[in-house]
Amino acid sequence: MLTLILYCATGAGLLASFIADRKKTKQALMKAWKAFENILPQFLAVLIIIGLALAVLTPAQISRFLGADSGLLGILAALMIGGITLIPGFVAFPLAAALLKNGAGYAQIAAFVSALMMVGVVTLPMEFKVFGRKAAILRNALAMAFSFLVALIMGVIFR
């Protein structure tokens, strides 16, 4: 029901914009389409990877590696996977939801998503050039520590 309300509100806003200024509305829609075209290949690739991973891994396997019962080792595994994975945020949250539905624990998913967003192992060479070696390592270490803290807090909240 909420989705229907949001679609109606979006449609009403688009109609109001079109009535106010047709040219600007068409320009905005063209920019949105271009942005969609740029994002689509990455999005489809990640969806395929998620689909394959969920097809190969059973809920029992996901639960064993990232479930609430996996404890500290599961959190550390999620931190490492999140830290080395390079996927956009708009894919991370649907992936997290799919993993939760398939048996992953809240603390482990919080560690994964938090590390995914903040830790940049893949981008570390670029950070060395931009920020310097010491600052880049410090930033990533603090981000990893904060991700671990977030996971612990989420584990306590969602017991």
Closest CA to 113 of 58, 152, 151: 151
pLDDT in the model for residue 118: 93
What confidence tens digit (pLDDT) does each residue in 11-49 have?
A: 999 999 999 999 999 999 999 999 989 888 877 876 787
What confidence tens digit (pLDDT) does each residue in 114-136 have?
A: 999 999 888 888 899 999 999 99
DSSP string spanning 22-67?
HHHHHHHHHHHHHHHHHHHHHHHHHHHHHHHHHHHS-HHHHHHHHS
Assess contact for 98 and 50: CB atoms under 8 A.
Answer: yes
Phi, psi of 24 (to 5 degrees): -65, -35
